[in-house]
Structure 1
Amino acid sequence: MQKRWIIQEDFDGEAVHTLQQELGVSETLAKLIQLKGINTFEEARDYFRPSLEQLHDPFLMKDMDRAVNRLTEAIGNEEGILIYGDYDVDGTTAVATFYGFLSRFYNKLEYYIPDRYKEGYGVSEAGIRYAAQNNYSLIVTLDCGIKAYEKIQLAKELGIDVIVCDHHTPGDELPPAYAVLDPKRNDCPYPYKELSGCGVGFKLLQGFSLQSGIDMKELWAYLDLLAVSIASDIVPITGENRILAHFGLKKLNRSPRPGLKSLIDLCKTNKDLTISGIVFGIGPRINAAGRMDHAGSAVALLLANNEEEANLLAEMVNNKNDARRDFDSTITEEAIQMISTNEEFANAKATVLFKEDWHKGVIGIVASRCIEKFYRPTVILTESNEKVTGSARSVDGFDIYAAISECSDLLDQYGGHMYAAGVTMSIENVEAFRKKFEAVVAKHITPEQLIPSIHIDSIIKLNEIDRKFFNIISQMAPFGPQNMQPVFVVEHVQATNVKLLKEQHLKFTVKQPGTNVAFDAIGFGLGDYYDLVNCGLKFHMAFTVEENEFRGLKSLQLFVKDIKFDD
């Protein structure tokens, strides 16, 4: 698929010059640093030397004082507390963090994960009634609840207080909870708006610890779980998230809890985990528990106390992930076939597909797979509990949550973010939704947004790349949304020693006329360029700089993202 290269040219020249002088780095590196929003030496120091002391005061969050006081009161009065979380990675890590932390010194609590198939997303009536029947007078919701107005009203009528910890965009009216913690509240002054659901729960525990005089080291022990939530929920790796992810990854790679260690072992990696490693390794395995069965097994794994228990639970979760892959592959093939053989679908600006027997647990993954093939906003729908439920995924720069909001008259329920959302509707509304969603997308999406893009940070020469250059870039990690690994372009290069691996991957040595350096380069999925690269044509190459280790020797290697040939 042809890609657009968007080359960054909007630099603050004065700030770049200042950074170059004060940090003693090249102009290219100074530009990269300034692109991160860093303009002074002090800002650079905080960015390159993150500290947990840089975290914001949790009491800056609206309702934090009420939430901490109510939690403290419940523990002091020995009330029953029900910790209620969503069934995805963010929700299960949030529950494991909150329950794991509190259970170290309080035992009148339980966790509750709704059944994806029986109860659906978010706070359910069944969950509220379970709390009432079991004498829980306080519910803490994690990664859900911000739109559960009716369910929380029911809890209130049953004499149950609710503390909502959520990070999704609120509706027009907040739920009638005792406290609502959500940085995206219009009236919330909290400085950082992009916490994960687990992150909001973590801030409540931070506030509780501060007020109760609990040593913060007790809470920092859960940073490995928080890093998994930040990575898996695809939230920006900026500000507070970057600090939390930085220290969470350190713990994950040095002393992970037994459940996470078992999952890391299953991934069979000999490298330190990164944000990307979590997204493609640990995250899908945790998610599979709730996709294929009940997510309670994922929480039990994350709370496992010893290696034997963790290995047993990890194997169960991994088996569910294998089953998920089978469903994912089969349904993706069906979906692509439906688009390819229907002229109207093939030429649309958006994809909306419905099949009543598709597995509800994998439709979000299928939506992402369809975007890889057709690159446009996509909603995949299936039938569940006499309703149609669906997962939506978007393309770079297009707000799918806003587009779905314009179709709200056809929906029973919806929620999500700019790039991912969920919907529920009556079966008779499916066709009307498809047509309206197509019209909304066609009205708002630009032609450029329908072409996948690569954001280029800088055009450089190959001889700018050395070990110091790589080491400074490495300190910009952890990489992820809004703090992506820098992508460079070199122009008019040629390849030697060209090899085609497994009929689809390209491996070669790249040289640039006028420089005396050469680098090994590998381009996964770029095998179609083999003949043109091998015959000596000059080309431009977009790439990242990686470290490769082979037989104990470390060397720099270029990871090729795309190739464009000279005219």
Structure 2
Amino acid sequence: MRWTLKPKPDSETVSLLSLQLGVDKPIASLLVQRGIDTFEAAKKFFRPSLDDLHDPYLMKDMDLAVNRIEKAIAAGENIMVYGDYDVDGTTSVALMSSYLKTLTPNVANYIPDRYGEGYGISYQGIDFAADNDISLIIALDCGIKAIEKVAYATEKGVEFIICDHHRPGVEIPKAVAVLDPKREDCEYPYKELCGCGVGFKLIQALSSERGDPIDVLLPYLDLVATAIGADIVPITGENRVLAYHGLRVINIAPRIGFKSILDQVKKKKISISDVVFILAPRINAAGRMKHGLHAVNLLTEEDEAIALEFAAEIEKFNSDRKDADKSITVEALVQIEELKEQERYTTVVYDENWHKGVIGIVASRLTETYYRPTLVFTKSGGKLAASARSVKGFDVYNALEACQDHIEQFGGHKYAAGLTLETSEYENFKRKFEEVVSDSIEEHLLTPEISIDAELQFSDITPKFYRILKQFAPFGPGNMSPVFMSRDLIDTGYGKCVGAEDAHLKCTVTQLPAGPTFDVIGFNLGGKIELIRDRKKFKAVYSLDENEWNGNVSLQLKLRDIAED
């Protein structure tokens, strides 16, 4: 692990903010690091308000999208809401269709089959619309590169509104409206919305046309918060406002579908990491193992008994997904070891029998293990399909762009992408990808980094300090849970390895010469116990956490890494 300590912010700014807010300097310092350096900015950070959301009409083509939907509603046209099969796509469809159904009954949902149709807008979906007298498709979380497909739909008398957040290509599809804050000609102030976030801006615009206050849309924010968490977009600006209020909805008045999932796992209070690790995998599992419409049906169901049946079904999909994910990961690791792939700058593996629905998860696991830009391929309808994942600081989307002579199609983000190619191009692509990455990646990016916010004295860690720290949530990219470093630590004599195969490190630690004492847990750090034995001095990187035991709640340090001091 590389330990990287962030630079200290300007001391005068920290002192002034500390005074204005009535908080200790370590808290003020963390805020200034996050770009929050005035009383007003801190107020917006700690009390995110729906009033801080941008005017949706600042997004290019928003007026065109609203006018076309209003026309469709007035004329009684059939509208199809089309979305990708992942969490962002299925929540987007649930959001848009449930809102539109308050305005018109003529709304159908469509999620492409992951295996039969693949990612994004499909000819099959357009044919379905044309055959069923559907004249308008609202596509969410996909469509920004669907030039030919939108043209094909136009020939069939079907019009498109596209709501996407992926990077556009050189050309924009000739749809009625293309809402995408990443369009170069779009001056929308916030560029990091997820697909469901762009969908929300469209319903915000539609709602404002009716003179409704923004609070009317609160019940939809549980879907937006879930998409924000699952799609790992920055939790800054507008996303922070939407995630904050969406989490409140999930915790206070969740829709029946979410309540049914949470009842299955016996979870009451939900944080953004619970969204990522509990809600998102289950919603995703439907599209991975069966069909994304199962997830949409659960998220829009209003009958509790039916929702519980759907949730049980999705729990089974998730269990099957876990089994497939584990077995494929094991096979991929064997393949890598045989090929000594870890000596390369990339990890690329392939097996025609791997389940297409879980190759993205496997790619993430391999990236964690070998810390290389990673691609996992499988066979899909006569071609090869892959999921790509990257390491921090390296743009895998740009690397794929440099390999596009060997790729049929690709799309995605800096750290995650998907692609398809002809079987005959696999070896050529693999060679080119290795060449592009080895020529462009900086060596230090191939070692995992722990980014440390600040060095902390144990005497700074008080109940008040932690109480304010909790209000920094929701955490995520752009606003990660603070990570600290402390030196001159010693174990008080109770250090031991715990868990299966003694994988984890548990100890009670104090700071010399006479700091307070804290319980410490270090997952997967059992192998480092020698560093703390016999009262050896060590330094640690950690985050703060609450430990509840027998009704007692105490602060504990959650270790990220330790080293000799």
* Aligned pair partner of 2:385 in 379, 385, 389: 389
Match of 1:33 in 2: 31
Shift, 1:264, TM fit: 1.5
Deviation digits for residues 5-46 of structure 1 (CA, Å, limit 9, x no counterpart): 110115233322221221122222111000111121111111
Q: State the alpha-carbon separation in 2 of the partners of residues 360 and 437 from structure 1.
A: 21
| AA in 2 matched with 1:161 | E
Matched, 1:301 2:298: yes
Shift, 1:356, TM fit: 1.0
The CA RMSD measured in Å over matched residues stands at 1.1
Q: State the alpha-carbon separation in 1 of the partners of residues 139 and 267 from structure 2.
A: 34
User: Following superposition of structure 1 onto structure 2, how do residues 506-517 of structure 1 map, counting pairs within 5 Å?
Assistant: 506-517=505-516
Deviation digits for residues 34-81 of structure 1 (CA, Å, limit 9, x no counterpart): 011112111111111110100000000000011011111110111110
* Aligned pair partner of 2:424 in 428, 431, 443: 428
Match of 1:311 in 2: 308
| AA in 1 matched with 2:512 | P
The count of aligned residue pairs is 562
User: Following superposition of structure 1 onto structure 2, how do residues 124-523 of structure 1 map, counting pairs within 5 Å?
Assistant: 124-270=122-268, 272-343=269-340, 345-496=341-492, 497-502=494-499, 503-523=502-522
Q: State the alpha-carbon separation in 2 of the partners of residues 109 and 511 from structure 1.
A: 62
Shift, 1:315, TM fit: 0.7
Partner secondary structure for residue 82 of structure 1: strand
Deviation digits for residues 371-412 of structure 1 (CA, Å, limit 9, x no counterpart): 111001001111101011100000001000000010011111
Deviation digits for residues 438-476 of structure 1 (CA, Å, limit 9, x no counterpart): 011001111110000110000011010001111111111
Match of 1:546 in 2: 545
Query: Is the contact made by 1:407 and 1:433 (CA closer than 8 Å) also made in structure 2?
Result: yes
Q: State the alpha-carbon separation in 1 of the partners of residues 285 and 326 from structure 2.
A: 14
Shift, 1:216, TM fit: 3.2
Query: Is the contact made by 1:463 and 1:515 (CA closer than 8 Å) also made in structure 2?
Result: no
Q: State the alpha-carbon separation in 1 of the partners of residues 440 and 10 from structure 2.
A: 31
Shift, 1:508, TM fit: 1.2
Query: Is the contact made by 1:61 and 1:183 (CA closer than 8 Å) also made in structure 2?
Result: yes
Deviation digits for residues 483-529 of structure 1 (CA, Å, limit 9, x no counterpart): 00100001020112223221111111110012331011111111112
Q: Tell which deviates more after alignment, 397-406 or 535-544.
A: 535-544
Query: Is the contact made by 2:73 and 2:103 (CA closer than 8 Å) also made in structure 1?
Result: no
Deviation digits for residues 405-433 of structure 1 (CA, Å, limit 9, x no counterpart): 10011111100000000001000000000
Q: State the alpha-carbon separation in 1 of the partners of residues 555 and 98 from structure 2.
A: 41
Shift, 1:129, TM fit: 0.8
| AA in 2 matched with 1:303 | T
Q: State the alpha-carbon separation in 2 of the partners of residues 27 and 340 from structure 1.
A: 49
Partner secondary structure for residue 495 of structure 2: strand
**Unmatched tracts of structure 1, length 5 or more:** none
Partner secondary structure for residue 222 of structure 1: helix
Match of 1:23 in 2: 21
Q: State the alpha-carbon separation in 2 of the partners of residues 319 and 143 from structure 1.
A: 26
Query: Is the contact made by 2:218 and 2:249 (CA closer than 8 Å) also made in structure 1?
Result: no
Q: State the alpha-carbon separation in 2 of the partners of residues 114 and 279 from structure 1.
A: 23
| AA in 2 matched with 1:508 | C
What TM-score, normalized by structure 2, do the two folds share? 0.98
Partner secondary structure for residue 535 of structure 1: helix
Query: Is the contact made by 1:267 and 1:282 (CA closer than 8 Å) also made in structure 2?
Result: no
Matched, 1:106 2:91: no
Shift, 1:362, TM fit: 0.5
Q: State the alpha-carbon separation in 1 of the partners of residues 444 and 271 from structure 2.
A: 31
What TM-score, normalized by structure 1, do the two folds share? 0.98
Q: State the alpha-carbon separation in 1 of the partners of residues 368 and 41 from structure 2.
A: 37
Q: State the alpha-carbon separation in 2 of the partners of residues 557 and 436 from structure 1.
A: 47
* Aligned pair partner of 1:87 in 79, 85, 103: 85
Query: Is the contact made by 1:462 and 1:515 (CA closer than 8 Å) also made in structure 2?
Result: no
| AA in 1 matched with 2:198 | V
Q: State the alpha-carbon separation in 2 of the partners of residues 516 and 409 from structure 1.
A: 61
Deviation digits for residues 217-243 of structure 1 (CA, Å, limit 9, x no counterpart): 332111111111000001000000011
Deviation digits for residues 174-194 of structure 1 (CA, Å, limit 9, x no counterpart): 001000000000010100000
Match of 1:563 in 2: 562
Query: Is the contact made by 1:378 and 1:393 (CA closer than 8 Å) also made in structure 2?
Result: yes
| AA in 2 matched with 1:452 | P
Q: State the alpha-carbon separation in 1 of the partners of residues 383 and 97 from structure 2.
A: 33
Deviation digits for residues 118-153 of structure 1 (CA, Å, limit 9, x no counterpart): 000000000011111111111000000000111011
Query: Is the contact made by 2:531 and 2:563 (CA closer than 8 Å) also made in structure 1?
Result: no
| AA in 2 matched with 1:444 | S
**Unmatched tracts of structure 2, length 5 or more:** none
Partner secondary structure for residue 505 of structure 2: strand
Q: State the alpha-carbon separation in 1 of the partners of residues 513 and 307 from structure 2.
A: 56
| AA in 2 matched with 1:373 | T
Shift, 1:104, TM fit: 2.4
Query: Is the contact made by 1:477 and 1:485 (CA closer than 8 Å) also made in structure 2?
Result: yes
Q: State the alpha-carbon separation in 1 of the partners of residues 534 and 50 from structure 2.
A: 53
Deviation digits for residues 100-129 of structure 1 (CA, Å, limit 9, x no counterpart): 111123100100000000000000000011
Q: Tell which deviates more after alignment, 167-176 or 152-161.
A: 152-161
Q: State the alpha-carbon separation in 2 of the partners of residues 326 and 447 from structure 1.
A: 35
Q: State the alpha-carbon separation in 2 of the partners of residues 35 and 265 from structure 1.
A: 39
Match of 1:54 in 2: 52
Match of 2:11 in 1: 13
Q: State the alpha-carbon separation in 1 of the partners of residues 388 and 515 from structure 2.
A: 49
Shift, 1:341, TM fit: 1.5
| AA in 1 matched with 2:79 | I
Q: State the alpha-carbon separation in 1 of the partners of residues 2 and 252 from structure 2.
A: 39
Query: Is the contact made by 2:50 and 2:214 (CA closer than 8 Å) also made in structure 1?
Result: no
Q: State the alpha-carbon separation in 1 of the partners of residues 403 and 427 from structure 2.
A: 12
Partner secondary structure for residue 379 of structure 1: strand
